[in-house]
């Protein structure tokens, strides 16, 4: 039987893992208020992918900040409003609401430069799971958090010089973040941006290719030069940039398959990238019954899972999802290949 690390490596390299690797994303509400259910799940379905912690017993500050209704300020200076316990909330007071704040603005360099990854290395060395970094770069989302989403779309439309200056500053921060993780013992490095609505990309694909694709390629090049794997997440309908993400070297892509044509994605890209989940979390997981969950998993498997690799059994466990539906996802992934 393969270890988790061996299983994920086999999936990423299309080398016939003994089964699809398992990965669960438990959102803050679950770890805060349903930890007993989460523990029971892990007992029944051990996952193959592990997440790095910076020190023993360290709590996730963002998770803790959502424990109750209120506000919190992130390390970049933007203020988030939490309207529901366990749900991350929204930026309502962006740090650079006006460009006049840009002259004195600096990224939170101390977060990277004062970070000690020695415990991360110990975790990696003692685990047989495939270990991932924290989420590193998220330039598009960080710009939204710093400017406010509506304002940022106006910035992109006008192509302001201030925006380009801020993007360069954010990018340099994330390059340093990724360089630090590249020196650690993690197996893969995660970066992300949510690029899609339910129907299309949020910005013109031409603008995306001009401004953001080159940044992502730099991240991938750093990650691969360190002998590690590049894991990327984006919500929404991102069919327009799937080939670009493959071109720049993304190894595993977590996307909302059910916003797109799963069978067409398989026809075009199966064997070229590892599909890192997922199962429909807008409708099936929160509102479906176990039979509908089974049908959703089987659809993904029919399209993508022929046993050769290139797929990771992943789903997200959110506030409105029952434990039985989440367990049904992974139970169905254990069925023989279709």
Domains with residue ranges and CATH for the chain: 4-58+100-333 (3.20.20.210)
Question: With 60 as the cut, is the pLDDT of residue 58 above it?
Answer: no
338, 301 contact by CB (below 8 A): yes
Q: pLDDT exceeding 70 applies to what percent of the chain?
A: 98
pLDDT at 64: 82
pLDDT at 57: 54
Q: What is the mean pLDDT of residues 130-144?
A: 97
Q: Cα separation of 326 and 161, whole Å? A: 46
pLDDT, tens digit, for every residue of 95-119?
999 999 999 999 999 999 999 999 9
pLDDT, tens digit, for every residue of 253-301?
999 999 999 999 999 999 999 999 999 999 999 999 999 999 999 999 9
pLDDT, tens digit, for every residue of 202-253?
999 999 999 999 999 999 999 999 999 999 999 999 999 999 999 999 999 9
Q: Average pLDDT, whole number, for the chain? A: 95
Kindly report the number of other CB atoms within 10 A of residue 325's CB atom: 23
pLDDT at 54: 72
């Amino acid at each position: 039987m393969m270890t988790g690390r061996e299983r994920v490596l086999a999936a990423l390299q299309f080398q016939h893992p003994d089964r699809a690797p398992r990965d669960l994303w438990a959102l803050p509400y679950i770890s805060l208020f349903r930890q007993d259910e989460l523990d029971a799940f892990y007992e029944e379905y051990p996952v193959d992918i592990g997440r790095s912690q910076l020190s023993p017993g360290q709590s996730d500050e963002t998770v803790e900040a959502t424990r109750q209704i209120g506000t919190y300020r992130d390390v970049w200076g933007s203020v988030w409003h939490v309207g529901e316990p366990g749900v991350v909330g929204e930026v309502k007071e962006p740090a650079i609401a006006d460009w006049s704040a840009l002259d004195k603005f600096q990224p939170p360099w101390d977060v990277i430069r004062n970070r000690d990854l020695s415990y991360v290395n110990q975790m990696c060395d003692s685990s047989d799971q495939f270990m991932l970094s924290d989420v590193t770069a998220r330039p598009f989302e960080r710009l939204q958090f710093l400017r406010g989403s509506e304002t940022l779309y106006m910035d992109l439309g006008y192509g302001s010089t201030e925006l380009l200056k801020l993007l360069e500053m954010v990018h340099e921060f994330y390059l340093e973040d990724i360089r630090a993780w590249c020196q650690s013992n993690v197996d893969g490095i995660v970066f992300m941006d949510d690029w899609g609505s339910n129907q299309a990309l949020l910005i013109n694909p031409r603008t995306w290719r001009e401004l953001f694709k080159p940044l992502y390629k730099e991240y991938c090049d750093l990650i691969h030069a360190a002998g590690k794997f590049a894991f990327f997440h984006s919500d929404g309908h991102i069919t327009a940039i799937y080939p670009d993400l493959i071109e720049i070297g993304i190894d595993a892509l977590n996307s909302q398959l059910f916003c797109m044509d799963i069978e067409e994605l398989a026809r075009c890209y199966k064997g070229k990238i590892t599909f890192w989940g997922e199962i429909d979390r807008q409708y099936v997981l929160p509102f479906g019954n176990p039979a509908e969950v089974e049908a959703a998993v089987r659809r993904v498997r029919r399209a993508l899972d022929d046993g050769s690799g290139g797929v990771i059994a992943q789903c997200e466990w959110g506030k409105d999802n029952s434990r039985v539906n989440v367990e049904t996802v992974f139970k169905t992934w254990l069925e023989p290949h279709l």
